[in-house]
Amino acid sequence: MVFTLRGSSYKTRGIAFYCILVFIILVGTHVVLSTTHEQYGRMTSISRIAPWTRPVSWANGPDETRKVPPTTINQIEDHRPQEWHHPQLGQENATFVILARNYEYKDLAQTLRQLETRFNHKYHYPYTFLSDEPFSEEFKEWTSLAVSSKVQYGLIPREQWDPPSNINLTLADELGRKLQANGAIYGDRIPYKNMCRFNSGYFFRHELVQKYRYYWRVEPSVNFFCDLNFDPFTYMREHDKTYSFTISLKEFENTIPTLWNTTKEFMAEYPELIARDNAMAFLSNDGGDTYNLCHFWSNFEIADMEFWRSETYMKWFNFLDMKGGFYYERWGDAPVHSIAAALLLPRSRIHFFNEIGYKHSPFEHCPQGDVHEKGRCSCKQEHNFDNDWYSCTARFHSLFSLF
């Protein structure tokens, strides 16, 4: 019995020795490959493995295809070449533009997965992320893993973000507190006003965006409900559309008390810039004397940036900027874009994308009938905001029936 135990002991030691030897060989091979083959090192690095071990919060629902980020790994582009993204299949010079903060990475990743599942997995249009502060590695890791295509991350220059020199910040702060006290949401928030001004006059001039013609604006925590079986960028080009939307509604009047009077001043000074077949009837119930507060909700928009970059639009933006209303009041980019599109473009160049089911809480556009079925939409048709009293979409449709 003793001999048998000793024999077993010798045999066990021999097996252990060979296991340790194999382990040492494997580790040594990994070290050699990591140091001599850059691509192998990147693919097996801890930074690539770590995100998969983190808890991931993905909302349950029909648009959720995975509980973890997708298996396709994208090399993050932060002013350096990408190697792991899919080549663009869409035919247009277009990008998704996303203004976001570092803490929004989880909500944004969920939105991006829906957008990929419903549309971009077939086209691989690139993503452009912008912020006034450097993006964290965590933000870049989560967002790059959520998409199938090229990504780039841009820092907004201070001269495009901060209040201009003609703004009296002491006065802006005083008036902002009064706005907030009177119920004007974000009325005292300078960072929010910076964002509105940037979206109104600068995002299309950012160095990472300038090379593109079309953009699709995306925000964190929004939902895309329907399969999109065509390319909206191509639709815009082929049908000579400049601006498009999915939701329209009335603006809070206390955020823009002097915007319409400023608009009338602009029209009087530059009558030649007002389009002959414009959409004034969308903005005003009395031929332009007063503003009915209707605007396109710009947290979703697909548009041709050649319009924003045009001399016509820049005259409009610069006129508003000199008035100071972005800071002395709280002029949002939604009414600024909407008034410009309605007055400076022929109405035929504004398009409503009925097929794109979309929600930015608390409002949503849910396609009806055959469009809902064809798009395999996950929204409830009875939740459609289009016919709500606060919506302006029915007015937009009636505008075309008048002519």
Report, as residue numbers or ranges, the catalytic residues.
301
Per the CB < 8 A criterion, the answer to whether 148 and 120 are in contact is: yes
DSSP of 166-226: T--HHHHHHHHHHHHHTT-TTTT-HHHHHHHHHHHHTGGGSTTTTT-SEEEEE-TT-EE-S
Q: Is 151 exposed, middle or buried (0-12, 13-18, 19+ CB in 10 A)?
A: buried
Residue at token pair 């064809």: 374
Q: What is the dihedral of CA 219, 121, 231, 382, to 10 degrees?
A: -60
SS3 104: helix
Per the CB < 8 A criterion, the answer to whether 150 and 126 are in contact is: yes
Q: Is 234 exposed, middle or buried (0-12, 13-18, 19+ CB in 10 A)?
A: middle
Q: Which residues 6+ apart lie within 8 Å of 233 measured at CB?
A: 90, 92, 94, 125, 214, 216, 302
SS3 15: helix
Q: What is the DSSP letter of 64?
A: -
